[in-house]
Amino acid sequence: MTLDSGSGGIGVMIRQLRQSRGLSLRQLAAQLDIHFSHLSKIENGRDQPGLSVLHRVAQVLQVDLDLLLGEAGRQERPFRVLGRIAAGVPMDAIENVETFDLTKVFDPEDHFLLRVQGDSMILDGINDGDLAIIRHAQRARNGQTVAAMVDDEQATLKRYRQEGDTVVLIPANDRLQPLRYPAGRVRICGVLSGLIRTSVR
């Protein structure tokens, strides 16, 4: 599934910002600490930048991170809902085509998408490869699942809990232990609002 927007997507925005600042592809890639071929794929819409890359892009190109996150999370084309299916008592199959536009439910100005990597949240039904729908937020309540940056370098999706001056990021996987950090090392980027399942388990 490709994240895109009517204006050309996050890759086009990054290329335009890079060119406006007189940077070559290799120069920007070096400053972002990524391979230039990866940056080329991002700019051409063949790959999507992760949250940590977007954060570095915002710093290097001196733009608002929320602007990049909003562009990365836009989706223009609506889904089609072909009918209903019973999860309990079976019912007659009825096809009744309507469109379902994610942007009508999750405002792209307030939300962005992140591709989940790993199995740390599987007990919450969040699997590797799923798309997490994240609402922009800088604060979270205990128990909410958040997209957080640790030391402005490592991005993670975890349940959030604050204990005094300590932030605890809690996985939904019995094999993993909670991560504890001084509150100043953790920055909330958003709160989980929805999930798009991209594979059958």
Q: Which residues are tagged catalytic?
A: 120, 158
Residue 40 in contact with residue 14, Cβ under 8 Å? Answer: no
Buried-exposed string 80-96: b where 16+ CB fall within 10 A, e elsewhere: eeeeeeeeeeeeeeeee
Report helix, strand or coil for 5. coil
Closest CA to 76 of 12, 3, 133: 3
Cα–Cα distance measured from residue 74 to residue 168, given in angstroms and rounded to the nearest whole number: 30
Cα–Cα distance measured from residue 132 to residue 69, given in angstroms and rounded to the nearest whole number: 13
